[in-house]
Amino acid sequence: MIAKSLGVAFVTGASQGIGKAIAMRLASDGFKVALNDIPSKKDNLEAVARDIDSKHNHGSYVVPGDVSQEAEVEAMVKKASKALGGLDVMVANAGIIGPIQPLVSISGDEWDNLFRVNVLGAFLCYKYGARELIAGGRGGRIIGACSYAGKQGASFISAYAASKFAVRGLTQSAALELGEHGITVNAYAPGMISTQMVASLVGPNDERNYTKILPPYAKPGQPADVASIVSYLASKESHYITGQTISVNAGMYFD
């Protein structure tokens, strides 16, 4: 049994899908949870916070902000840490899929916008999460969002795949730098998880749209399947795992 991992977790992209599932799971594990997403999703964040607070009594905190803006990331991490009493886990979950089209049709602006969210956003969360963890002096966990497309490229999502390969490299480098502070850095790589983002790629959340991609025995995964891996990576028991990007994909891709 995984021991209760009491502490403070910060989850970006927490208003829906995998981010929401991660926030709910970490709250269930015993964490106080800071919930982040872009300001336009503040109402959704507050609904997640109410859900957490109705089930658990250790607290949540809503901190809207854009992960691609350095000043906002620095401010929201400091604000959440002050409100909740420090930081133990940073989950850099926020991301977008970007243009779904041939490589030759993607504009430079589309490429830059996707990289600002998926790569710069992850870097800024790692950077300011690490600063807060180092200042706290109690070690901690940094966990990023990769994808099966960050391990094997795929047609028509070249920008997205490239951004997720970048997250893997960032995760490995950060793990080497931050280990001396008792901080592990890992990432999760979901496959076909039933979310709005995946639906935009394969069509409506109908199992028939997934069977062309998944192994014959597999069904679409659920956000909770990813949240369970994050729960372990956030725990004390995961101390001997760092620099890894862990696949959650029902066997659609093998490392």
Domain spans, the chain: 8-248
Among 39, 24, 27, 118, CA closest to 75: 39
Q: What pLDDT shows up at residue 193?
A: 87
Residues noted as catalytic: 160, 164
Triad 84, 51, 119: Cα angle to 5°:
60
Q: What pLDDT shows up at residue 233?
A: 99
Distance CA 163, CA 111 (A): 9
Distance CA 70, CA 186 (A): 22
Is it the case that residue 77 has pLDDT exceeding 80? Answer: yes
Average pLDDT, the chain: 92
Q: Please state the pTM of the whole predicted model.
A: 0.93
Q: Which of these ranges, 11-25, 110-124, 191-205, has the smallest mean pLDDT?
A: 191-205
CATH code of the domain occupying 8-248: 3.40.50.720
Is it the case that residue 5 has pLDDT exceeding 80? Answer: no
Among 78, 8, 246, CA closest to 150: 246
Among 222, 185, 246, 242, CA closest to 20: 222
